[in-house]
Amino acid sequence: MPAGGKATVRSRRLGTALKRYRLAAQLDQEHAAEALGCSKAKISRVESGISGSRVGDVRVLLDLYEVEDANMRVQLEHLARESNKRGWWLDYQGTVSDEHADLIALETDATYIRSWQPLFIPGLLQTQDYFKALLDTGLTVYSPEVIEKTVAIRQERKRIIEEPGSHFAAVIWEPALTAPMPSPKTHREQLMYLVHVAQRQNISIQVLPFSDWAAAHMASHFVMFSFGPEPAPEAVALDSTTTTAILEDLEDVAKHARIFEALRSAALSPEQSLTFLQKAIEDIPDSEKESE
């Protein structure tokens, strides 16, 4: 059973893939149950994500469905192992909602992450001061303990792109970068951090010019995830201050993939964007700059 006794994004991804391959093989749940020596009800629970599945059972089912893609087999076996493990974020129960836990699990598993942000700095690229300022702007008043835990969670999440293995690409609309921030120091340090991380091999940052209104309004913010060696997206997260929606329908994912490619084409190149960020730091009015 998935950790916590609930369907998780990992167990749902595993179940959805197994069901897709079963249907492609033109087999019903009775065939799968017979291969595993279990009930049809168990197959139904696995395919819906309510129950996890052992690695050995996944291998049997993939053999039954004649799935020969080695990368996909490795990916699904990995999901079988991880769906039964306790994620580090469960140590923050009460602070991390179930929906937020799904987002963190997607980030943790992803090999490619793509983020479009017209209003804010993408979460995985935010400095602590910028993130704390966002918490202060909301209607909810957080206790110092909750703020400390929330910041710790964000810092743990950022390790995903600080370590080799994951690729991160962001397109950010210019106003999110150049509009005044809560303090000049926060503004300057945030942009300097973007300049720093933009020079990493696994991170790409592109700025969409303010003038490209049409492109900026193709979609509100979203984050897209891929999980294999190829960058084909498999899930999209719509994250807000109150909830997180995960889209896994193939048509929804394909639609967001097309939008992201259009945004990347309209945006400045990564090299041009780096130059833009450096100039934006210099252009902070003197009245806003604080002495070192």
Over range 54-83, report the average pLDDT.
92
Give the pLDDT score at 241: 65
Residue 165 pLDDT more than 60? yes
Domain range annotation of the chain: 3-86, 89-282
Please, which pLDDT band fits residue 90 given cuts at 50, 70 and 90?
confident
Give the pLDDT score at 137: 82
> Would you say the CATH fold of 89-282 matches that of 3-86?
no
Give the pLDDT score at 147: 87
Over range 83-99, report the average pLDDT.
77
Over range 102-108, report the average pLDDT.
89
d(CA 169, CA 164) in angstroms, rounded, equals 14
Give the pLDDT score at 291: 41
pTM over 0.85: no
d(CA 14, CA 50) in angstroms, rounded, equals 11
Domain 89-282 indexed as CATH 3.60.60: no
Over range 211-223, report the average pLDDT.
95
Give the pLDDT score at 182: 85
Determine which of 54-63, 131-140, 189-198, 204-213 has the lowest per-residue pLDDT on average. Answer: 131-140
Give the pLDDT score at 92: 82
248-260 pLDDT, tens digit per residue, is 888 999 999 999 9
Higher pLDDT, 37 or 88: 37
Residue 289 pLDDT more than 70? no
Give the pLDDT score at 256: 97
Most confidently modeled of 99-103, 133-137, 153-157, 171-175? Answer: 171-175
- Contact of 225 with 236, CB cutoff 8 Å: yes
Give the pLDDT score at 4: 47
Please, which pLDDT band fits residue 128 given cuts at 50, 70 and 90?
very high
Residue 175 pLDDT more than 60? yes
Give the pLDDT score at 292: 42
Mean pLDDT, rounded, of the chain: 89
Domain 3-86 indexed as CATH 3.40.50.11740: no
Over range 243-270, report the average pLDDT.
94
Over range 46-66, report the average pLDDT.
92
Residue 172 pLDDT more than 80? yes
8-26 pLDDT, tens digit per residue, is 788 888 999 999 999 999 9
Percent of the chain with pLDDT over 90: 61
Give the pLDDT score at 178: 96
